[in-house]
A and B are shown apart, each in its own frame.
Chain A
Amino acid sequence: MNTITSIGTAPLVELRRVTRHYQIGENPVIALKGIDITIQAREFVAIWGPSGSGKSTLCNLIGMLDSPTSGTVLINGQEVNDLSDNARSELRNRTIGFVFQNFNLVPVLSALENVMLPLQIAGASSTVARERALERLTEVGLEKHVAHRPAKLSGGQQQRVAIARALVTDPALVIADEPTANLDSGNARRIIELMLNINASHGTAFVFSTHDQRLLESVKRRVLMQDGEIGSDSHPTRPAVQTRIAGGRP
């Protein structure tokens, strides 16, 4: 079904033969060994696997926070490797939301101001930003905590603020690298459910990583990372035909 809907349009994310090496002293660490993966709009993808298997590296490359050693990353069919830092920043701001393991809220801003931030980075007026941020905070059930600074919120609440912040620009994709690692199992489950609900209601694509297999029950597409390679992909999608021709690869 995914294959059919994507014909004629570029996939949201496409990685071709992507590698990422780190150099620590004399010894190269190969974090990713030639990854090929395609993610379509509206997909919910769980990346799982043991610690050190390359999940974070993969998330960072998809989110344009990092550049591959070799291979190509395409977002909406556009190669992002060669984009300038400014262009990548703008693209990130417009199309990708981030949820981090350690929440990463700006401590001096209130919950509301944190959620407003991505819109204001994009240049929106504070009136518009405030309105949209309030909607998002209501959606994640935090309308009573808008004025609180992060330090006054629990871990679960902070991660909800982070999700609201990731969603406020209506991005096509939210990347959540181990969003539940710092939460207890109850909160972790609720965060996954929240993300699934948003995926269902808004159609926002999610890529989320975890090393906790118990959180995968309700996720259809599961990508297992092993030693920098994709060990298994429960529902792989193929890149769109046109993009393959355009990319000049068989």
Chain B
Amino acid sequence: MITWFKLATRNLFRNGRRSLFTVMAIGLGFAAVNALGGFTAYIFTSLEDSYIHIQGNGHMSIFKKGFLNEGKLDPTRYLLNEEDVRVIDEVLQAHPEIRISTPELNISGLVSNGEVSTIFLASGRVSSKVDVIRSRSRTKVGNMQLFDGEPMSDETPNGLGMSQGLADQLRFKQGDTVVVMAPTVNGQINALDGQMLQTFNSPVEALEDKLMLVSLEFAQNLYDTTSVDRINVLLNDGLLTESMRATLQSELVARGLDIEIKTWNELSTFYTKVKNMFDVIFLFAFLIVFTIVVMSVVNTVGMAIMERTREIGTLRALGVKRRGIVGLFALESMLLGLFGSLVGVLLTLAVWSSIATLEPTWIPPQITRRIPLEVYLVPQEMLWSMLALLVLSLLAASLPARKAARMEIVGALGHV
């Protein structure tokens, strides 16, 4: 066995430049796939973190059954009332896996500066609890201030935030008094005064001139209700999302509640779309690398076989079986794949560490602020690529190697 390794390695060094090129091609391919993989990991993590923590939605949300479908037209008919919320809280309290839960009421209506008014959509939330959720963010963006002005706070229930586009439209500045109007759950028109605390950027461009942020108290006062439309739940461990959903679902139904639970990835359609898109991009990148690796290995092994035809004849004459010849070239290409992967690991580490050192920033879609661009190190992805490249090199070599093994011995020996 050692002999064959020796033979394979020495043969690789025999045409060192060609082997080097192949190793570099494999290494660059490896690094390309893994750097892209590290970037997509960063994107996915950021999107996930953004939805769950930064936007304060938690891992899952509990709704009255039908709120998300039928409730679109008449949301006030599908609210969780005080009693529902009390029972839900009771059930949630019993689970130490739950970090925190917070109620939310989304409202819509008209916002006015006294001269003109326009439609708004606002979520009413409990600031202190949202802050707890936000503080659990693991990303660099989570530590950044994503608004201009003062933070929302439980102490200022009339304080509100506005997307920049909406504020510009109505010429609101920080500290201005804002008139907010909406029909109550009973159908009467209600109006409240709020105070501008901050502006922020809508995560969805189309809503840049419509979004507002208010306290839960404000939202409930405006709608003249004590109900909410959802309870957001943050877990200690996001991996438990699916199992906790099932557990809570059955426990809540057992308590006689007609509810449905949606997880963050079901609610964040943007995440799913971006993930699908990147999966396709990744597939393309992988196919390109796949082609490069297969072509360079086929070429290298093919050339080696041409050059060493007489040697193959000699080995066969000395008694090496056909599968021994296949094995020898398979071993050589596996070594190419292995060295290539190792070079790839080094290149990936180089990319990763230089990005970690240089800390470049960028403005990704759907965010209007400059944020750090990162490439994550994903060891298991590197392991998989290594395995894939080894198998790939092996398969790529097996075709020319098989042909070499079936050569006529006499013909091979006479080859010059």
Q: Which of A's residues lie within 8 Å of B, judged by CB?
A: 60, 63, 65-66, 85-86, 89-90, 92-94, 98, 100, 102, 104, 106-109, 113, 116-118, 120-122, 126, 165
CA distance A55 to B123 in the complex (A): 97
* B319-A106 in contact (CB<8A): no
* B410-A60 in contact (CB<8A): yes
* A89-B320 in contact (CB<8A): yes
Q: Closest 4 interchain pairs by CB?
A: A93-B319, A108-B10, A104-B314, A65-B409
**A15 smallest CB distance to B (angstroms):** 16
Nearest A residue (CB) for B412: A65
CA distance A60 to B13 in the complex (A): 33
CA distance A126 to B318 in the complex (A): 17
Given A90-B319, A121-B318, A121-B319: A100 and B413 interface contact (C-beta under 8 Å): yes
Interface string of B307-342 (1 = CB under 8 A from A): 000110111111111101000000000000000000
* B319-A107 in contact (CB<8A): no
Nearest B residue (CB) for A169: B319
Judge if B137 is at the interface, Cβ distance under 8 Å.
no
CA distance A85 to B3 in the complex (A): 23
* A92-B317 in contact (CB<8A): yes
* B7-A89 in contact (CB<8A): no
**B305 smallest CB distance to A (angstroms):** 15
Contacts A63-B317, A106-B314 known; 10 new A-B pairs at CB < 8 A: A66-B409, A89-B316, A92-B317, A92-B318, A108-B14, A120-B3, A121-B318, A121-B324, A122-B319, A126-B3
Nearest A residue (CB) for B311: A106
Nearest B residue (CB) for A97: B318
Given A65-B317, A89-B320: A126 and B2 interface contact (C-beta under 8 Å): yes
Q: Which residues in B have their C-beta under 8 angstroms from that of A107? A: 14, 311
Nearest B residue (CB) for A102: B310
Q: Which residues in B have their C-beta under 8 angstroms from that of A120? A: 3
* A65-B7 in contact (CB<8A): no
Given A86-B321, A93-B318, A98-B318: A104 and B413 interface contact (C-beta under 8 Å): yes
* 12 A–B contacts from the bound complex (CB under 8 Å): A85-B321, A85-B322, A86-B321, A86-B322, A89-B316, A98-B317, A104-B314, A106-B315, A107-B311, A117-B3, A120-B3, A121-B319
* A100-B314 in contact (CB<8A): yes
Given A92-B317, A107-B311, A120-B3: A65 and B322 interface contact (C-beta under 8 Å): no
Q: Which residues in A have their C-beta under 8 angstroms from that of B6? A: 109, 113
Judge if B11 is at the interface, Cβ distance under 8 Å.
yes
CA distance A250 to B351 in the complex (A): 81
Q: Which residues in B have their C-beta under 8 angstroms from that of A100? A: 314, 413
Q: How many residues of B contact A (CB 8 A)?
A: 25
* A89-B11 in contact (CB<8A): no
CA distance A63 to B319 in the complex (A): 11
Q: Which residues in B have their C-beta under 8 angstroms from that of A60? A: 410
Nearest B residue (CB) for A85: B322
Q: Which residues in A have their C-beta under 8 angstroms from that of B315? A: 106, 117, 121
**A214 smallest CB distance to B (angstroms):** 26
**B309 smallest CB distance to A (angstroms):** 11
CA distance A165 to B319 in the complex (A): 12
Nearest A residue (CB) for B405: A85
CA distance A113 to B409 in the complex (A): 22
B7, B314, B317 — most chain A CB neighbours (10 Å): B317
- Which residue in A66, A90, A102, A108 is a CB contact (below 8 Å) of B11? A108
* B413-A65 in contact (CB<8A): yes
CA distance A118 to B314 in the complex (A): 11
Q: Which residues in A have their C-beta under 8 angstroms from that of B10? A: 108-109
Q: Which residues in A have their C-beta under 8 angstroms from that of B7? A: 106, 108-109
Nearest B residue (CB) for A118: B318
Nearest B residue (CB) for A162: B314
**A37 smallest CB distance to B (angstroms):** 19
Q: Which residues in A have their C-beta under 8 angstroms from that of B408? A: 66
Nearest B residue (CB) for A94: B319
Given A106-B311, A107-B14: A117 and B318 interface contact (C-beta under 8 Å): yes
Interface string of B178-190 (1 = CB under 8 A from A): 0000000000000
**A68 smallest CB distance to B (angstroms):** 12
Nearest B residue (CB) for A120: B3
Q: Which residues in B have their C-beta under 8 angstroms from that of A118? A: 318-319
Q: Which residues in A have their C-beta under 8 angstroms from that of B319? A: 89-90, 92-94, 118, 121-122
Q: Which residues in A have their C-beta under 8 angstroms from that of B11? A: 108
Nearest B residue (CB) for A60: B410
CA distance A100 to B3 in the complex (A): 23
**B33 smallest CB distance to A (angstroms):** 33
Interface string of B71-93 (1 = CB under 8 A from A): 00000000000000000000000
CA distance A66 to B317 in the complex (A): 10
**A112 smallest CB distance to B (angstroms):** 12
* B3-A89 in contact (CB<8A): no
Interface string of B1-36 (1 = CB under 8 A from A): 011001100110110000000000000000000000
CA distance A165 to B318 in the complex (A): 9
* B311-A121 in contact (CB<8A): no
CA distance A107 to B307 in the complex (A): 12
CA distance A86 to B6 in the complex (A): 24
Q: Which residues in A have their C-beta under 8 angstroms from that of B322? A: 85-86, 89
CA distance A66 to B321 in the complex (A): 15
Q: Which residues in B have their C-beta under 8 angstroms from that of A108? A: 7, 10-11, 13-14
Given A104-B314, A104-B413: A116 and B3 interface contact (C-beta under 8 Å): yes
Q: Which residues in B have their C-beta under 8 angstroms from that of A90? A: 319, 321
